[in-house]
Amino acid sequence: MAYIELQGVHKVYRKRNLEVPVLAGLSISIQAGEFVALMGPSGSGKTTLLNLIGGLDSPTRGTIRVGDAQLEQMPERELTAWRSQHVGFIFQMYHLLPVLTAAQNVELPLLLFKMAASERRERVQLALSVVGLEDRSDHRPSQLSGGQEQRVAIARALVTDPQMLLADEPTGDLDATSAASVLHLLERLNSEFNKTIIMVTHDPKAASHATRQLHLEKGELFADKPREAAMVEY
């Protein structure tokens, strides 16, 4: 059984009396352990799709199952609790809290769990060492480079050990070197730790790190190319 299963998903935004259809009957299966690159022109609904899979928003129509959670049927409160255990979010602009140190930012999601302080510390250290920043744990976001900030954000997404990571243009704001290290890290998380990853990106080179590419255009997933084919095309 696929880990993520979307069937006939519609998303229509309502702006006053205006209806903006974004996703038009989208269906897709993603297996556990896949690393999916989600591509498509600006405004095609990539972020919208990611938000639906991550339980941040609800579809207008259709069903979304992740693991054994039927997201479209869950009320907001359950979705929130579900997110904290099953999803790690990574954003383009990192979104770290500026007043907290790297370690504290990583620890933040753990505050939602009943856990001994020592265990929390261990987990934070582990997550920071996975992203290679154990020596920066006391730095504030303002004392880190963009690439380091994004790696801290990845550590924060990892620390609760979720099955799925959702990344929305994680390298969109980074220089080539930092982007490469972040992509390499995601690749490792996929291959070594078996995380299911969906990454939105505009960059074909970034997409090439994924095991599968999806293209979203005009509300439909119109292509589903294996990695080899993509390499040939770009």
Partner 1 sequence: MTRTTVLIKNLTRNRLRTTLTVLAIALPMFVFTMARTMVEQVHEMLAESDLKLRVAVHQKLSFTSPLPQRIREEIEGLAPEGYITAVCRTSWFGGRIEGKPAAFASMAVDRDTFAKVYAEFEITPAENERFQEERRAAMVSPELAKSQNWKVGDRVTLTGSLPPNPKMEFVIVAIPPKMSRQWFYFAMDYYDETLRKLTGSPAGVNNFWVKCSSPEARQWALTAIDKHFASSENETRTELESTFFAQFMKSGGDWVGLTWNVGRLIVLVAVAVAFNTMSMSFRERTREIAVLRTLGFSAGKIVRMVLSEGVLLGLIGGLIAVGPIYALTHLTEFSIPRMGTMQIPNQTAAIALAVACLCGLLAALVPALMAGRLKVATALRKVV
Ligand X SMILES: Nc1ncnc2c1ncn2[C@@H]1O[C@H](COP(=O)(O)OP(=O)(O)OP(=O)(O)O)[C@@H](O)[C@H]1O
Residue ranges binding partner 1 (CB under 8 A): 47, 51, 54, 56-57, 76-77, 80-81, 83-85, 89, 91, 95, 97-100, 104, 107-109, 111-112, 120, 156
Q: Contact between 44 and ligand X (CB under 6 A)? A: yes
- Whichever of 47 and 137 has its CB closer to Mg ion, that residue is 47
Per-residue x/- marks for ligand X, 48-87, CB under 6 A? Answer: x---------------------------------------
- Who contacts 2 (Cβ-Cβ below 8 Å, separation ≥6)? 29, 30, 31, 32
- Whichever of 102 and 182 has its CB closer to ligand X, that residue is 182
- Whichever of 158 and 199 has its CB closer to Mg ion, that residue is 199
Q: Contact between 13 and ligand X (CB under 6 A)? A: yes
Alpha-carbon separation of residue 207 from 86, 121, 179, 197 (angstroms): 23, 34, 12, 12
Q: Are 62 and 9 in contact (CB under 8 A)?
A: yes
DSSP SS3 for 146:
helix
- Whichever of 28 and 100 has its CB closer to partner 1, that residue is 100
Q: Are 96 and 146 in contact (CB under 8 A)?
A: no
For residue 45, give the nearest of 15, 18, 22 by alpha carbon.
22
How far apart CA 22 and CA 42 sit, in angstroms, is 12
Alpha helix (H) residue ranges in 87-175? 102-107, 117-130, 146-158
- Whichever of 76 and 228 has its CB closer to partner 1, that residue is 76
How near is the Cβ of 125 to ligand X at its closest, in Å? Answer: 34
* Binding residues vs Mg ion (CB under 5 A): 47
Interface ranges with ligand X (CB under 6 A):
13, 15, 20, 22, 40, 42-48
